[in-house]
C-alpha cells in the first residue's frame, strides 16, 4: 500500500501485471526521420495498395538560366564544344554511306529479279509482276534461310519473341 501511494496506482499495475498486447500494437511505430521508410511488422501481411512515403522531388536546373553556372561566353563555349560538330559530321557521313549501301543492295536485288523474269519470258513464260507484300515475304524467307545456314536462326527468333512480348506488355492496360 505504501508502494502504491509512492509510485501511483497506474505505475504499480503496469509493473505488476505488465501491459496488454492489444495496447502495444495499437500505437504505431514511429520513424526517426520523416524521410526514412516506415517500419512495419513482418508478421502482418503487406497491403495490396501500400501507402508510399512522399519523397522530395528533384528540381531540375537549366544551366542557361541559372546564376550558379556563371556567365555565358560564346567564344569559350565554341572552343569547348567544338568536338560535337565534328562528331555530327562523321555521323552524317556514316549514315549516308550506310543508306547508299542499302539502296545499292535493293537495286541489285531488283535487277536480279528482272533478269530472271526476262529469261523466263524468253523461254515462253508469261511475265510476272510481284506486289510489295509478296516482295517482303520473299525477302523475309531469304533472311530466314541465311540465318539458318549461319546457325543464328534460334537466337534471332528468341530475341524477336522477347521484343513482341514486351510490345504486348506495353499495350496492356495497367
- pLDDT, one tens digit per residue, over 30-78 is 778 888 887 778 888 767 777 767 788 888 888 888 888 888 889 999 9
5 vs 114 pLDDT, higher one: 114
Res. 92: pLDDT tops 70: yes
Arithmetic mean of pLDDT, 127-133: 87
How much is the pLDDT for 26? Answer: 57
Residue 138 included in any domain:
yes
Residue 66 included in any domain:
no
Residue 31 included in any domain:
no
Overall domain count for the chain: 1
Rounded to 5 degrees, what are φ and ψ at 142?
-65, -40
At 85, is the pLDDT very low, low, confident or very high (cuts 50, 70, 90)?
A: very high
> Which cell numbers in the block locate residue 73?
561566353
Residue 148 included in any domain:
yes
CB 170 within 8 A of CB 163: no
Residue 155 included in any domain:
yes
> Which cell numbers in the block locate residue 115?
533478269
Residue 54 included in any domain:
no
Q: Which of 143, 138, 163 is nearest to 153 (CA)?
A: 143
Distance CA 3, CA 13 (A): 11
How much is the pLDDT for 173? Answer: 79
Residue 149 included in any domain:
yes
Average confidence score pLDDT of the chain: 86
Q: Which of 38, 16, 36 is nearest to 28 (CA)?
A: 38
Residue 39's Cβ-side half-sphere holds a number of Cα atoms within 13 Å equal to 8
CB 12 within 8 A of CB 4: yes
How much is the pLDDT for 56? Answer: 85
At 96, is the pLDDT very low, low, confident or very high (cuts 50, 70, 90)?
A: very high
Distance CA 51, CA 37 (A): 11
How much is the pLDDT for 21? Answer: 59
**Domain that residue 155 falls in:** 129-159
CB 63 within 8 A of CB 71: no
168 vs 30 pLDDT, higher one: 168
Burial class (CB in 10 A: 0-12, 13-18, 19+), 147: middle
4 vs 148 pLDDT, higher one: 148
Residue 144 included in any domain:
yes
Which residue is it, cell 524468253? 122
Amino acid at each position: 500500500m505504501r508502494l502504491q501511494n509512492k509510485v501511483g496506482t497506474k505505475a504499480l499495475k503496469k509493473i505488476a501485471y505488465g501491459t496488454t498486447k492489444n495496447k502495444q500494437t495499437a500505437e504505431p511505430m514511429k520513424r526517426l526521420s520523416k524521410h526514412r521508410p516506415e517500419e512495419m511488422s513482418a508478421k502482418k501481411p503487406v497491403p495490396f495498395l501500400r501507402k508510399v512515403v512522399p519523397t522530395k522531388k528533384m528540381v531540375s536546373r537549366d544551366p542557361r538560366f541559372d546564376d550558379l553556372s556563371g556567365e555565358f561566353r560564346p567564344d569559350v563555349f565554341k572552343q569547348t564544344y567544338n568536338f560535337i560538330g565534328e562528331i555530327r559530321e562523321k555521323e552524317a557521313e556514316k549514315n549516308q554511306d550506310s543508306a547508299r549501301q542499302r539502296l545499292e543492295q535493293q537495286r541489285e536485288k531488283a535487277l536480279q529479279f528482272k533478269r530472271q523474269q526476262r529469261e523466263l519470258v524468253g523461254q515462253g513464260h508469261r511475265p510476272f509482276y510481284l506486289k510489295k507484300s509478296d516482295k517482303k515475304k520473299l525477302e523475309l524467307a531469304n533472311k530466314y534461310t541465311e540465318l539458318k545456314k549461319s546457325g543464328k536462326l534460334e537466337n534471332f527468333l528468341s530475341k524477336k519473341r522477347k521484343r513482341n512480348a514486351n510490345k504486348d506488355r506495353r499495350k496492356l492496360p495497367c
